Amino acid sequence: MKILGTITILLCGGLLIFFTSDFPDFGDPKSPASIHLSPYFIEHTLEDTAVPNIVTSVLADYRSYDTMFETTVILTAGLACFLLLRIPTKEVTRRYYLHEPTGVTLRFDGDRYPKGSNVFKRIDSNWVPYDIIINFTCRLLIHFIQIFALYVVAHGHYSPGGGFQGGVVIGASIILFAISSNLRASIKRLGEKAAAIFTATGVFIYAGTGALCMVIGEHFLNYSFLAPLLGTDRIMARSHGIFIVEIGVAVAVMAVMIWIYYNLSSAGKQDEGL
Amino acid sequence: MDIVSLIAAKANYWTYVILLMVGLYAMVAKNNLVKKIVGMVIFQTAVILFYVSIGYKKGGTLPIIMHGHDHGHGVDSFIKAADYINPLPHVLMLTAIVVGVATLGVALALAIKVYQEYGTLEEDEIRKQIELKG
């Protein structure tokens, strides 16, 4: 299998490398990819949408159907992880508790764990004492990461950024919190239910904006019909419509990253994880 | 065409083909499922690199219209497409990266399920177990 695979792949790669001589040169302004559709986007983005960042305007306006179904793909991936892995926490019985005054770790089977006591601290089965430097650094960093993420979302019209990037950064900040403290602390702040609802809300904001355009005007995702609602002219309405849609994308992406992390890191138990 | 300009003109394609081969080899020849998934990610990265590199134009800047923030009042009346790199591959890859991460999550979830079922991630051992059962 290895030899066969190597031969096949070397053959394919050799053919590809051989035929790169027909490809346009690196950085060639006249390459076919750059002369058919993209000049229109570059030259008309300001008069069509009033968004200087062409990537944002193409992503959320010219190709907004594509992006809408990308968010649906993300939602489906989150759901698939959930349906594949999630098992009820009640089936998990063996738990470890640290008696904080003495530092003794106790194992409880079944549901005989100390419920109302506050000297016992729940720990993971592969628990190691937390490093104070990591804990402190992460606690300091997470706020700034989140503020930066909001900036990336909100400033996506004028600088590199947008819903996907900002959403991933917020998701990463919460995953950083889950790694630096533990999974349960993170789930207490943003639970699985919240993650699922946020994911669906994000896709709903996107599709709902499109449907609203259809109700007011006649085209799905044609934001210029939102102009009477937003109190602007038709071109600025497109800019604002893109912003609404980007918020939907950011919410969906953030929640899906967190949801997938919860399910993967705990193999679906969401009881103890990394 | 001498050799230096040839390398300068085609090096991006060669890099992408080599990465593609590495990823494909890992997907085909490796026995461990997680290594196959890693191969898939390398493959994906190669395609992303390819797309982003064909979007580049010599002398072009990043695809944000200069002085475009005041609703076009300060812009030169004529925006030349040659001044900005091609935004379309960037848009496509922007979504592809995030979707790639989401599908990677699904792949890892499947790997976890396989491990829970068979107690191993090695492909030949899994096949042996399936043959014993059937």
CB-CB: which of A27, A58, A66 is closest to B56? A27
**What tens digit of pLDDT does each residue of A188-222 get?**
888 889 999 999 999 999 999 999 998 888 888 88
Provide, as residue numbers in chain B, all residues whose Cβ is less than 8 Å from the Cβ of A27: 56-58
At residue B61, the 3 state secondary structure works out as strand
Say if A118 falls within a structural domain: no
DSSP A95: E
Say if A210 falls within a structural domain: yes
Q: What is the ipTM of this complex?
A: 0.85
The reply to whether residue A23 touches residue B10, judged by beta carbons under 8 angstroms, is yes
**What tens digit of pLDDT does each residue of B7-58 get?**
888 888 888 999 999 999 999 888 999 999 999 999 999 999 999 988 888 8
Say if A164 falls within a structural domain: yes
Distances (CA, A) of A105 to A99, A101, A122, A135, A266: 6, 11, 10, 22, 21
For residue B41, the enclosing domain spans: 3-64+80-133
Of A8-12, A84-88, A102-106, A122-126, least confident by mean pLDDT is A122-126
Say if A162 falls within a structural domain: yes
Q: Give which of B34, B48, B58, B64 to mutate to test A binding, by max A Cβ within 10 Å.
A: B64
Q: How many domains does chain B have?
A: 1
Question: CA-CA distance, A7 to A20, in Å (whole number)?
Answer: 20
Question: CA-CA distance, A246 to A99, in Å (whole number)?
Answer: 47
Q: How many domains does chain A have?
A: 1
Say if A226 falls within a structural domain: yes
The reply to whether residue A26 touches residue B90, judged by beta carbons under 8 angstroms, is no
Say if B27 falls within a structural domain: yes
CATH value at residue B87: 1.10.287.3510
Say if A153 falls within a structural domain: yes
User: What is the least distance, in Å, from the CA of A266 to any CA of chain B?
Assistant: 10
For residue A64, the enclosing domain spans: 44-90+129-265
Give the CA angle between residues A237, A240, A242 to the nearest 5°: 110
The first and second tokens of residue A42, run together, are 């570059």
Say if A121 falls within a structural domain: no
Q: Is the dihedral of CA A98, A99, A101, A102 positive or negative?
A: negative
Say if A119 falls within a structural domain: no
Say if B107 falls within a structural domain: yes
The reply to whether residue A26 touches residue B11, judged by beta carbons under 8 angstroms, is yes
Provide, as residue numbers in chain A, all residues whose Cβ is less than 8 Å from the Cβ of B58: 27-29
Say if B71 falls within a structural domain: no
pTM of the model: 0.88
